[in-house]
Amino acid sequence: MNTSTMARPVRTGELASAADAVYRKVSWRLIPLLFLCYIAAYLDRVNVGFAKLQMTSALSLSDTVYGAGAGIFFVGYFIFEIPSNLMLHKVGAGKWIARIMVSWGILSAAMMFVTSATSFYIVRFLLGVAEAGFFPGIILYLTYWYPAERRGRATSLFLTAVAFAGIIGGPLSGWILHSLDKVAGLAGWQWLFVLEALPSLVLGVMAWFFLEDRVKNARWLTEDERDTIAQDVASEESHKFDEPVARVLMNPKVWLLALVYFGIVSGLYGVSFWLPSIIKAMGVGDPLDIGLVSAIPWAFGVIAMYLVARSADRLRESRWHTAISCVLGAVGLEISVAFHNDVYLSMAGLTLCTMGIMSALPVSWSNPTALLAGTAAAAGIALINSVGNLAGFVIPLIIGVIKDKTHSTDLGLHMLAAWMILSAIAVLSLPKPPATPR
């Protein structure tokens, strides 16, 4: 049923400028911390791609075992995603995000104790359980603070953390592997997991104190500023539907959105987990050099993500922006395969692919958040994210098997391109989200 019938006030001139100032204030308060939290989360999730450069040989793990272990994270993530997001909606963002971050920080550091395929699988699975609910929780949290026409840019600023994690994490991970191997009797890959887990613990404590659960609790806003946000968000809620969880889980549109996200995530984690190995196969040998080269696609991804999200917000359109970005990502993958013997052209293809993937990520979330509200939003966003993130399990495993059988990742990259094209087709089959007043 509709959650409200409130109409959004039309603002012009000084009132519009005042509203812009309110949302700038909100962004400066929330986005930097959320941004840093997601950098820490993404590093702890995918740094196994760099650890692989030393860990698999040290522990005698095959590419298939690596792919399964990298991906089993998402099985735990999938199982506990919806309960975790519903709990965040119930108990509050600050406390629940803090719980998530501290628990995953501890488990990420525990990766240093892995000694076999079995222990690799167990710790990665538990890490997925610990992190379940973080990303969809943030997406849900942003709906409490921004109406749709402002949320796309806020989401893109938050999601640039994925690209910055690549820009920062690649060189950092390469340096740790290069410089700390055998220090204090620990291998470089063990230092990698320990050092990159520490920021999650610190940021988890900060989240407890700095993330207010609702606008009404934000004492750093004036009463007029809280009213401005409340009116805008309440107006948007009148165009959404808050349904029982069971009905949301049976909604074909929600499952179609999950399919769209599955294809985008296939490309994201295909690149994230295998980019260091792909660069190494091009002839770049030193871990530090691999880390530096791996930052290039992510740097361009940041620029593309911001520009596409800005365009989507300005035009109030997300379906075509998502579809075109997915197609560009697929084209980039095909270029990288076609010219895999040419380092420069192959990197150009991977860079285009990363630009497409990173552009699709934030604008694709404009579709579900424009359609669902309340408990329906919590359950629907969690379902879309959890099903989509199963790609994080399936794709690394399949690419690992393919690499073991063919000694190449080319066939796996063709598969990723096909998934991204399917996502482009699926998103265009969705109905346009309901228009909201300007």
pLDDT at 117: 95
Distance CA 364, CA 352 (A): 18
pLDDT at 427: 92
Distance CA 342, CA 320 (A): 32
Stated as kind and residue range, the H or E segment containing 58 is helix 48-59
Which residue do the tokens 């900060």 mark?
Answer: 206
pLDDT at 213: 80
Residue whose C-alpha is closest to residue 311's, from 299, 325, 328: 325
Residue whose C-alpha is closest to residue 331's, from 363, 368, 357: 357
Beta strand spans in 147-188 (E): none
Distance CA 214, CA 296 (A): 38
Distance CA 26, CA 154 (A): 10
User: pLDDT tens digits for the chain (438 residues)?
Assistant: 444 444 555 555 666 778 889 999 999 999 999 999 989 988 887 788 889 989 999 999 998 998 889 889 888 888 888 788 788 878 888 889 999 999 999 999 999 999 999 999 999 999 999 988 888 788 888 888 988 778 877 887 888 888 888 888 889 999 999 999 999 999 999 999 999 999 999 999 999 988 888 888 889 999 999 999 988 887 765 555 556 667 777 888 888 889 999 999 888 887 877 788 788 887 777 888 888 888 899 999 989 988 998 898 788 888 999 999 999 999 999 998 898 888 889 889 989 999 999 999 888 887 776 666 666 676 777 788 778 878 888 888 888 888 888 888 889 889 999 999 999 999 999 877 655 444
pLDDT at 348: 92
pLDDT at 272: 78
What angle is formed at CA 220 by the lines to CA 219 and CA 225, rounded to 5 degrees?
Answer: 90
pLDDT at 437: 45
Residue 418 CB partners (closer than 8 Å, separation 6+): 330
Quick one: 401 exposed, middle or buried, by C-beta within 10 A (0-12, 13-18, 19+)? middle
Beta strand spans in 226-285 (E): none
